[in-house]
């Protein structure tokens, strides 16, 4: 399935209070996202707490998403590792259960050189015949994927795009204007805070955390070029996204979904459950944002009885 233009939800992994995966709720969330118009989902990524999933859980989640989507949405499996061999194994498993693409994070902790990154990603692409999206997130992994390395990798068969989360957008700006990038190579923003600016620069879309809570609203923000205008609407959007990332992802979004009645209060250590206030505030702001564009009834997560909004 072709990679989508616009909003791709980096979906959470619902868990029971004891940390066990809540597969029924996961199925419901995937179905809900697709029903509201999302056409791309990243499963078992950063937002899905991939670093605390075992291989069996990882593959089970990807397989469930594929079965539910049935071609209606592109399923992108988080399949990266700081071990090239492990990344190949995870990517092969993702392909075997039907994933449309694999998201490959820059190797963390061991700090490879740019040449090392090139050979790491190329080895995965040559080992597994599946579309690959590179994932540049230096704030988490400690190593930056430079634009010239990305441009070089864009010519490797199977490497079709990159998700870039650098808040300055400087790397994205350079990449989108480099002559050495293969034509058709897709660039996605990985930061809700800067995604509108990224799309205006020419990015293909956004891999979004906020769309877990309000998918239809986020789709509208990114489909309407004037959505991030002035006044109350812009203020609410800014307030929502700032609170969404006031703590490490996915703690705020999971708490907000719990307050919306969509998740149990499960998260795996070393992440912890937040106090009551952040999630309730996120839900309240999301509902007010929806109402500001005339969509108070767009989704269950924006109809929260008892919220003082």
Question: What pLDDT, in 10s, does the model give residues 268-290?
Answer: 999 999 877 677 778 877 777 66
% of the chain beyond a pLDDT of 90 = 70
Whether 130 and 275 map to the same domain: the answer is no
Cα distances (Å, whole numbers) of residue 185 to 78, 86, 174, 213, 236: 19, 25, 14, 29, 33
In a domain, 244, yes or no: yes
Beta strands in 63-130 (DSSP E): 74-78, 101-105
Domain termination site, one of 208, 240, 264: 208
Q: Is the pLDDT of residue 37 over 80?
A: yes
Which strand (E) or helix (H) includes residue 244? helix 231-244
Q: Quick one: average pLDDT of 160-181?
A: 93
As a whole number of angstroms, the longest Cα–Cα distance in the chain is: 55
Whether 252 and 167 map to the same domain: the answer is no
* pLDDT for residue 226: 42
Total residues found in the chain within this entry? 309
Q: Is the pLDDT of residue 186 over 90?
A: yes
Identify the residue with better confidence: 128 or 226. Answer: 128
Give the pLDDT band of residue 115 (cuts 50, 70, 90). Answer: very high
Catalytic residue annotation: 135, 163
* CATH assignment at residue 155: 3.20.20.70
Q: Quick one: average pLDDT of 174-179?
A: 93
- Is 207 marked as binding a ligand? yes
DSSP state of 271: S
pTM for this predicted structure: 0.91
Residues in a beta bridge with 189: 164, 206
Identify the residue with better confidence: 235 or 182. Answer: 182
In a domain, 223, yes or no: no
Distance, CA of 88 to CA of 94 (rounded, Å): 10
Give the pLDDT band of residue 295 (cuts 50, 70, 90). Answer: low
In a domain, 219, yes or no: no
Distance, CA of 185 to CA of 211 (rounded, Å): 24
With a CB cutoff of 8 Å and minimum separation 6, the contacts of 282 are 213, 240, 243, 244, 252, 253, 255, 256, 259
Number of domains in the chain: 2
Name the 3-class secondary structure at 22. Answer: coil
Q: Is the pLDDT of residue 148 over 70?
A: yes
In a domain, 251, yes or no: yes
In a domain, 177, yes or no: yes
Domain range for residue 19?
6-208
Whether 274 and 200 map to the same domain: the answer is no
With a CB cutoff of 8 Å and minimum separation 6, the contacts of 148 are 114, 178, 180
Whether 177 and 249 map to the same domain: the answer is no
In a domain, 213, yes or no: no
Q: Quick one: average pLDDT of 240-260?
A: 89
């Amino acid at each position: 399935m072709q990679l989508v233009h616009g909003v791709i939800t980096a979906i959470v992994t619902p868990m029971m209070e004891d940390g066990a995966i809540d597969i029924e709720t996961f199925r419901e969330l995937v179905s809900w996202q697709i029903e509201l118009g999302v056409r791309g989902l990243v499963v078992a990524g950063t937002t899905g707490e991939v670093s605390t999933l075992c291989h069996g859980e990882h593959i089970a989640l990807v397989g469930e998403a594929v079965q539910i989507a049935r071609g209606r949405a592109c399923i992108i499996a988080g399949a990266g590792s700081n071990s090239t061999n492990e990344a190949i194994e995870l990517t092969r498993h993702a392909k075997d259960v039907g994933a449309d693409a694999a998201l490959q994070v820059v190797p963390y902790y061991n700090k490879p050189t740019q040449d090392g990154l090139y050979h790491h990603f190329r080895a995965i692409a040559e080992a597994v015949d599946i579309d690959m999206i590179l994932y540049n997130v230096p704030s988490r992994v400690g190593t930056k994927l430079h634009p010239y390395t990305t441009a070089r990798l864009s010519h490797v068969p199977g490497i079709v795009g990159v998700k870039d989360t650098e808040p300055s957008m400087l790397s994205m700006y350079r990449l989108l204007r480099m002559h050495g990038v293969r034509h058709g190579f897709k660039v996605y923003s990985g930061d809700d805070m800067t995604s509108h600016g990224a799309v205006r620069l020419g990015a293909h879309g956004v891999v979004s955390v906020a769309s877990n809570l309000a998918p239809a609203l986020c789709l509208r923000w990114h489909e309407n070029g004037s959505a991030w205008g002035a006044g109350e609407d812009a203020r609410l959007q800014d307030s929502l996204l700032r609170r969404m990332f006031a703590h490490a992802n996915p703690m705020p979004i999971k708490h907000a979904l719990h307050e919306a009645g969509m998740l149990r209060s499960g998260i795996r250590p070393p992440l912890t459950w937040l106090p009551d206030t952040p999630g309730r505030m996120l839900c309240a702001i999301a509902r007010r944002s929806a109402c500001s564009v005339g969509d108070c009834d767009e989704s269950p997560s924006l109809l929260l009885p008892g919220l003082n909004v």
